[in-house]
Amino acid sequence: MSGPLVPDVAVAHSVATVARDGGRDEVAVEEPLEIRVDDRPLVVTMRTPGHDEELALGFLHGEGLIDAPRAAGPTADLAANTVVVDGPLLRDPGARSFFTTSSCGVCGKGALEEVAVHAPALPTGGPRVSRALLAALPDRLRQPGFRRTGGMHATGLFDADGRLLLLREDVGRHNAMDKVIGRALLDGLLPLHDHLLCVSGRLSFELVQKAAVAGAPVLVGVGAPTSLAVALAADRGMTLCGFARGDAVAVYADPGRVVD
């Protein structure tokens, strides 16, 4: 399985140099990506280039549109910033096109029921993890893009012992999550019932949704959760932890997997 111990050539394409105060600075690249299914445009997302096939597959999985690996790659004419995924989809996404941004994920969805993709309730078992280990996960995220630019979010996939298996970075926190889940889908790791997910920022409803659809029993974030994130985690039986830093972590939902 690919992982953070292997040099990530995508980082070289995710950083740009710009002018700043008479000098030069490195910033994260942000460009649009169109995801097509067969010949049908489905979504445009603003993302950091790299691991685009994983991003496309992770997005479609999180929306409940695929449940198994699919072939994904460039168009026949190698059009820039476009990924084509083989169909068919599990359900009709409807006539409304998605548009996502790097900051907030899928926007313009007018009702909660449009956002909530059905995910089975998580098994009551799964890993039991010490509070100290959960608090330590953010420090175990290896973030070469963030170190260079200060402008990327990260999602890390860990085993139950806290070993980092996979990390992806992106200007969008939801994109970083999609890239990890897309890679896990390709590697046959879904559902993630024996794994932990950790994100470098706040915990939004959408991140909890994606983690729940992927079957992750534990989601940890450096920042605060939103009210909908807590409600969805509690409803699906997910252990949700925020403000993980140093030796402290706050548990907001399903504390039964946390061992003090």
- Hey, which residues are catalytic here? 104
* Of the candidates 46, 64, 51, 152, the residue with the CA atom closest to the CA atom of residue 105: 46
With residues binned 3-state (H G I as helix, E B as strand, rest as coil), the percentages for the chain, rounded to 5, are 30, 30, 40
Q: From CA 66, how far away is CA 93, in angstroms rounded?
A: 11
* Of the candidates 161, 189, 147, 252, the residue with the CA atom closest to the CA atom of residue 58: 189
Residues 238 and 211: beta-carbon distance below 8 Å:
yes
Strands 105-106 and 98-101: antiparallel
Q: From CA 173, how far away is CA 186, in angstroms rounded?
A: 20
